[in-house]
Structure 1
């Protein structure tokens, strides 16, 4: 027997319906917020992620699935969605479209080689949005509100929004120098990764999972103390928009994002649900005003977020939220006799063309066994066709909810069932 690769999973019927429900909610909300779908390749040139995600990140250094193709090109399975969307934005010159900003969303599998654990897979599905072409703090608040609305509309209550600013270029440079000065005396006490980060990107030391309890972390200089007047004003406006939208938040000066292209607004949404697990982050995002230029496009501001569908479903389970999924079948046709069996094939096709869900037996089961199959499929109506019914050009219909059984003319079956299904079978 061949098993699936470690860090991957099969999503089986009974589970996939939950995925379809939340994905439909994503699309519905994006339509309300006027975001349009974009689909990019599952693999890209490795250079895209080296430049777009950042050479100093754990993703690029440790977690990417990279391979040589037959043309000796270096390709990588996408570890995240933003770099691909921005590459497409530049390559397809979306910056020249009349409608700006370009407001885009994506849903698809991402790949990272890391130790599999609860809620963390080597292949996972990510939903994300990107708004490219606006430096207005109001759109930062819009992006955050869209992320929060997804969780709220799916019923989650134990949510915590954490925000921070990473400042503009000058703010970051001043903060960077202060971090180096602060952590340098403790360099040998930090993990090997942080010793490298201190030289390459000291901001990411604050994001270290291994050293998070080190005393130097608690006394590290805050970016808020190094903001320029412009960066401070920008963050103040973002908070004002969140306040006016009645979105609660907590400012955490140590919140940083793990990717190199972020600046100004950064945020994470966490679950406070009991039993959710040690890794509480559900979604994260922020502003990345230099990424489009880094990938060869014109100066274009951008902001976005991404969430893991797997972790969203975990959060729903932790809060005991049942999604309103209707997995009942509209109708099931039972045939008795060869002539009826032939007529049933025609009838099933006719009902399906009319948009009615229907199934039938394909294993030669007896009458009672077919009824049991209809019950397992939660069929709302069972249609019974035998030799006598054929002779009278009628069919018996049993309402499985009320137990009522009626005889209907075969030419009237589509209109009758359509009306009954519309009324909910009552």
Structure 2
């Protein structure tokens, strides 16, 4: 049987996992600087969480979810995004009662969507996201955006564009919704079946349609910014003011519509403008979801968050030719000459590791020359050679591979000498 990867998934091999680890640690460090704490939720949830939380008019719910019945005949879904799960946990564990508000959380893990595979898009993908729940201060909107931008900048990206918009409050959305229905309804038969279904349920989603995006009516559609009431307009003005204070460049795009139903007020996307990055330029997106906590059974707690694909971040770094630090090198490789020497090598390898020195040895009974070649391939900083002479002297031959110099070192002082040599590299 020829068993291969399921379509839309990938194996991340050791040659690449080091890059992932660098990026993941960078993200975690930035979250620590902003005082966001990690939350881990299940990879599957009750399907209703996503139909209610994400919205039953979204492409995610209608076309992309992996849903199944368990043995108790319950409908479960592999999580397609992270916000709904985090908000569910926020409500279930009564985090709204925590003395420190807003509650600042981040997550990182696999998500699942049934969609066509393309560069940087998989059916199982890794998403980082963060949520700040419990504050309606425009300053927290700016903080969330600044955290997103800081991650990309720390990763070395320079070709970035931040686009923002306001989706308004409920009153503004209702007024805009009526204008959209009146605009599209006379010609709705020109649009795809999805848009026709969305006309009465959520006409704002028509503006996000990829099939009909070139229809002339899209260009003349009523802009939400023209329907913002005084409160929404003032809120958006403050968000822009804070971003300007933080020296974060942005563009206002009245046509920016996030693909999930729970967004209101601030919405934003971060894009790569790097040459060769690809047709899909979006790196991250997010916004406010002030009604989502109440929708999922909690109190009326405002929230804002965003999510980014780790795969797309790595692609953007590749497009900008950003080099990764080498984290795969080995401190020391131990070479044995003879059976008795191998016993000592085994003992010393274990002892070095106990002292936080990365060490390896041969397990294929290879000759000394082959073992030395293995040390080179593993980019070892030093080699320890033990043969009969060394055993008699209760010592090892320690060789610095960068200079070629070597010295006889007693077993009793080996740890200190190896640390001196490797820490200097």
Q: Same fold (TM over 0.5)?
A: yes
- Equivalent positions of 1:176-215 (< 5 A) are 176-215=177-216
1:170 paired with 2:150, answer no
Aligned residues of 1:286 and 1:304 also touching (Cα < 8 A): yes
Identify the range of structure 1 (183-192 vs 119-128) with the bigger mean alpha-carbon deviation.
183-192
SS at structure 2 position matched to 1:15 = helix
The offset of 1:407, in angstroms, is: 1.0
The offset of 1:325, in angstroms, is: 3.0
Alpha-carbon distance in structure 2 between the residues aligned to 1:325 and 1:89:
39
The offset of 1:420, in angstroms, is: 1.9
- Equivalent positions of 1:8-407 (< 5 A) are 8-407=9-408
Structure 2: segments with no counterpart, 5+ residues: none
Aligned residues of 1:191 and 1:211 also touching (Cα < 8 A): yes
- Equivalent positions of 1:402-421 (< 5 A) are 402-421=403-422
Alpha-carbon distance in structure 1 between the residues aligned to 2:243 and 2:410:
60
Aligned residues of 2:80 and 2:112 also touching (Cα < 8 A): yes
Alpha-carbon distance in structure 1 between the residues aligned to 2:40 and 2:373:
43
SS at structure 1 position matched to 2:8 = coil
Per-residue displacement from partner, 1:79-127 (whole Å, max 9, x unpaired)?
0000000000000111111111100000000000111111111000000
Aligned residues of 1:270 and 1:282 also touching (Cα < 8 A): yes
Alpha-carbon distance in structure 1 between the residues aligned to 2:93 and 2:326:
38
Structure 1: segments with no counterpart, 5+ residues: none
Aligned residues of 1:124 and 1:308 also touching (Cα < 8 A): yes
Aligned residues of 1:21 and 1:325 also touching (Cα < 8 A): no
Alpha-carbon distance in structure 2 between the residues aligned to 1:268 and 1:154:
18
SS at structure 2 position matched to 1:75 = strand
**Normalized against structure 1, the TM-score is what?**
0.99
SS at structure 2 position matched to 1:305 = strand
Aligned residues of 2:108 and 2:127 also touching (Cα < 8 A): yes
Per-residue displacement from partner, 1:327-369 (whole Å, max 9, x unpaired)?
2100000011111111111101110000000000000000000
* C-alpha RMSD of matched pairs (Å): 0.7
Alpha-carbon distance in structure 1 between the residues aligned to 2:381 and 2:220:
64
Aligned residues of 1:145 and 1:247 also touching (Cα < 8 A): yes
The offset of 1:398, in angstroms, is: 0.8
The offset of 1:242, in angstroms, is: 0.2
Alpha-carbon distance in structure 2 between the residues aligned to 1:11 and 1:157:
26
The offset of 1:168, in angstroms, is: 0.5
**Normalized against structure 2, the TM-score is what?**
0.99
Alpha-carbon distance in structure 2 between the residues aligned to 1:76 and 1:166:
29
Per-residue displacement from partner, 1:8-57 (whole Å, max 9, x unpaired)?
00000110111111000110000000000000000000000010000111
Alpha-carbon distance in structure 1 between the residues aligned to 2:193 and 2:273:
31
Moved beyond 3 Å, runs of 4+: none
SS at structure 1 position matched to 2:115 = coil
SS at structure 1 position matched to 2:15 = coil
Alpha-carbon distance in structure 1 between the residues aligned to 2:326 and 2:130:
25
Aligned residues of 2:128 and 2:307 also touching (Cα < 8 A): yes
